[in-house]
Amino acid sequence: MSTTEAPITIDVARLRLAIVRLARRQRQQSGTGLTPSLQSALAVVDARGPLTLGELAAIEQVSPPTTTRIVAKLEEMGLVERTVDAGDRRITRVDATDHGRGQLAESRERRDAWLRDRLAELSAHDVAALAAAIDPLERLLRTEAPERVS
């Protein structure tokens, strides 16, 4: 910001609450029957896998025992599978199955459809304002502290 620009103020509490409520409504639209923890872990494994349980725990910022329980539940549901690392047989990696990827794709489509329907209810001006906010919101996410790796 240059010295001649007036500072921009924003109601941080309203912004936070709107983001939280939108995220909650999106989770409710997933239709997977998975808890938020299971859904999140499956999405991470799909996007970044195959991962060790330690890597998944670090990304999700949960304890290794919690990660073990989450992966066991996802495996029981046929959404992920464990494989032994070819280079070091002591290491187990987890990856999404075709069933898990399909469930994620269906969930994303349901959530996208819900959001498209909500956007269709807004004025063109409001939709343009939301579109303009995407880049700054993504920059906010990139300025977070780096993920901790244990």
pLDDT tens string 15-52: 999 999 999 999 889 888 899 899 999 999 999 989 99
CA distance 35 to 41: 10
**pTM (two decimals):** 0.77
Number of domains in the chain: 1
Single out the residue of 131, 137, 115, 124 nearest to residue 10, CA to CA. Answer: 137
Assess if residue 126 is contained within a domain.
yes
* Per-residue pLDDT tens over the stretch 75-86: 999 999 999 988
- Provide the residue range defining the domain that includes 106: 12-142
Structural domain contains residue 2: no
* 6 located within any domain: no
> Would you state the pLDDT for residue 148?
37
Q: How confident is the model at residue 149 (pLDDT cuts 50, 70, 90)?
A: very low
